[in-house]
Structures are given as C-alpha cells and as structure tokens.
A = this chain, B = another copy of it.
C-alpha cells in the first residue's frame, strides 16, 4: 500500500508554479492575480479563503481579498462581480460559497465572466469540460486528476466507481475519468443516495472515489484487494483521545481499508491540499489565456 500524499504533491506543484511565475515576470509578463470575494463570517469559509490567499503569496501571485458583511445586498455583490469582470489586472476570481440565504448563488455564478471563472463552476466551463474542450476544471476533480497523473496511476479501461453526484465533485470527476484523455478512458459507475446495491458495486472498483460526506462509510468489506482509493470526505468526529476531543476523518475507514489497497489518500493530507493547487493552476492558465485565448 502506498499513500497518495497530497500534502507533499501540492508542495511540489506549488514549487513548479512559483518557478513559472518567476519566469513569466522575468520575461516581462504580467504577475498572475487572483481575487477572492468573501461574504459574511462563516468560520470554514474564512479558513478556506485565508488558505487560498496564503497559497497565492507562496507562489508569487498577486492576491486581492474583498470582504463584505453578510448583510450585503445581491445587487451590491453583483456590482463587485461586474467590476472584477472588467478589471484587466485580475486574471481570475472566486466568490466563496456558501452565500447568505438572501443572495441567489446561481445568479452570482452565472454573472462571473467564464474567462475569469477559476473555480470552474460557471456552466460555460462545465459544458466545455463535458464535451472535452479546454476549460477551467473544478478544484477537487482537477486535484484528483493531477494526483493520478503524477503518481502515474493508469485508469484506462479500469472500473472506476464514484460515490456521490455533486456538481463540484462526483459528477465532474465521473466525466473526467470517462473521457478520451490521459488520465481518463475509465469505465465509470456513478453512485448516489438512490443507488441500490452500493456495496456490491464498490467491490467491483479498481478505483473508488468517495465524496459522500459520511464518516467512515466505506468499510473493508466494500473494497477489492489492490484497489485505488480516493477519499474526498472531510468529517469532524468526536474522539475523546484527541487533544481537542474531535478529529478529522474521511468517508473511508482508513485504518481498516488501507491494508487492502494499492494506493489510498489519507484524510487530512490527501485530496484536500490538492484543491488549492488546482485553483492556482487555473489562475496560471487564466494569466496565460490558455483556455479562451
């Protein structure tokens, strides 16, 4: 069993990106610039955005953080999005979700210029990804694909079972795994809450991607010997033995499952750290105008 070490790999990728940024600037190019809009004071969102800004600094990007109270009107937020669309210095930007209930998230997402949508949530980017055109890929699936590529895990012709059909993880990773590309060309089985025989299907999986948000859902009896396990879950559970009284676990029972696998992502330190490098890579692509010219 080998660990898919997202912490290490994300640092490697960040080193590569930092070297690229130096090269761009040395050649007289524009410094990549990511802007992030944070509305309200959700603690998790604050951590995510802070980590994104920190990662930008680390690789030499310019970053702008726009913070607004949870009471901001939808119209005011739409104006911020509009201004960022127009700002030539900003290569890409994100509006951290979730937004307060009085703001229509879909309306805001649709207002972002697809050319600057480095979260890859705009339907234009989702559609381009679906039909195989260059696109900003959503962070988590992009991170997983990076991991498969860098660890040289060949999924072509393999059975990949994906648990969860969300717009930001399950559905896009199922599309990326099945498309005619490398990595790709897998036979994908997309499972969700309505799937009847989920254990049986999991046991078929050469590659199992789990994104359900249910702590330790995948147990040892659900995994084929030698399988590759990608655990996207991040769940906080009670643990009296831990200093804080809680700890983070994935959707996979790591202790029991790991010995059966060929590769497995730990939680934390697996898929999580890769999501920020995806955002950085998308921003670099935006800076280079790789997707939309």
Contact = CB atoms under 8 A, between A and B. Distances in A.
Contacts of A132: 167
Contacts of A189: 187-189
Interface residues of A, number: 38
A167 B171 CA distance: 15
A122 interface: yes
Interface string A152-173: 0000111100000101000100
A180 B123 CA distance: 18
A185 interface: yes
Contacts of A94: none
Contacts of A165: 178-180
Interface of A: 106, 122-133, 156-159, 165, 167, 171, 174-175, 178-180, 185-192, 194-197, 201
Contacts of A194: 156-157, 180, 185-187
Contacts of A187: 189-192, 194-196, 201
Contacts of A158: 196
Nearest to A110: B133
A165 B190 CA distance: 14
Contacts of A178: 165, 171, 190, 192
Contact of A175 (B159, B171, B191): B171
Contacts of A106: 133
Contacts of A195: 157, 187
A141 to B, nearest CB: 12
A189 B191 CA distance: 9
Contacts of A130: 123, 126-127, 130, 167, 171, 175
A224 to B, nearest CB: 14
